[in-house]
Amino acid sequence: MASREPGAVPPARRGEPGARGAGAGPERAAGRILKLLLWRHGQTAWNAEHRFQGHSDVPLDTTGHEQARRTARYLAALHPDAIYSSDLARAAETAEYLARLTGLPVQLDKDLRERGGGSWEGLTNSEIRTQYPVEYATWVPPDGESVTIVADRTAAALQRIADSLDCGSLAVLVSHGAAINLAMSRLLGLPEQVRVLGPLGNCAWSVLGRRDGHWRLLEHNAGRILDQVAEPVSGSEAEAEPVEVLTVGPEQTPLAGSTPVLQAGSAPGPAPGGAH
């Protein structure tokens, strides 16, 4: 058995705290995580009217163009390595705003299309409920795509695109609300018949990361604040009022070796050992 220096900490055994894989722990080799940023297209007139779009080729409306233009500025700052898009106009038009800022080509992929709605396409939610009450109860268009088919198609597309990229790459995929949600659910092992992840807003995005063949959700429905805040708060406004800091909850005994947390309003004292 190898000897250790006096006072050295023995390596953790499997299953013990500190062992590799025993807990969440800090991020390791974060730069090697392959990331897919799944960006939902901007608003269309049918979105505003709550109509089922499916494979119908509906373009962006004025609001959708502005959403795409504004959001593309934020995504361009992430320096993506590739841009993919559904071949439907509302997605391709959204992707073009990012392509202009990055100089990257838009690679169209039919497998990133929205769920096909058959005879439901073009109908409002209330019209579907009235004309197809039985199918509406389970949200299954009689001549459209099932959630399983859409999950198969879109998850396979994400896997195929990820396999074509280098580790550490970031690709932006412009797609559609149901298509993105079902693809993520399949890759994350979540149920597809019951929605676990909340819906994506127009021009919002989610980020999936893959490392060592395993997928996880890094962000979901990000970018919604861009629609909810008209202008950022200026520095003078942010500093105009004093900040009140409150301590809530029961007192916690500090862990051995940890630095005690200062109470609100208290001044820091000398560091242990007299160092300042």
Specify whether 50 is catalytic: no
The parts of the chain modelled with pLDDT lower than 50 are 1-22, 30, 228-241, 247, 264, 266-276
User: Domain spans of the chain?
Assistant: 30-49+60-116+152-228
Q: Residue 192: what pLDDT?
A: 83
What stretches of 67-124 adopt beta strand conformation (E)? Answer: 82-85, 106-108
Q: Residue 158: what pLDDT?
A: 98
Q: Residue 234: what pLDDT?
A: 44
CA-closest candidate to residue 30, choices 225, 207, 223: 207
Marked catalytic residue, from 93, 114, 135, 145: 114
CA gap 193, 180 in Å, rounded: 14
Q: Residue 195: what pLDDT?
A: 79
Site of tokens 């399983």 = 148
Q: Residue 13: what pLDDT?
A: 44
Marked catalytic residue, from 5, 16, 27, 41: 41
pTM attached to this predicted model: 0.74
Specify whether 176 is catalytic: no
Question: Domain spanning 30-49+60-116+152-228: which CATH class is it, in words?
Answer: alpha beta
CA gap 189, 179 in Å, rounded: 15
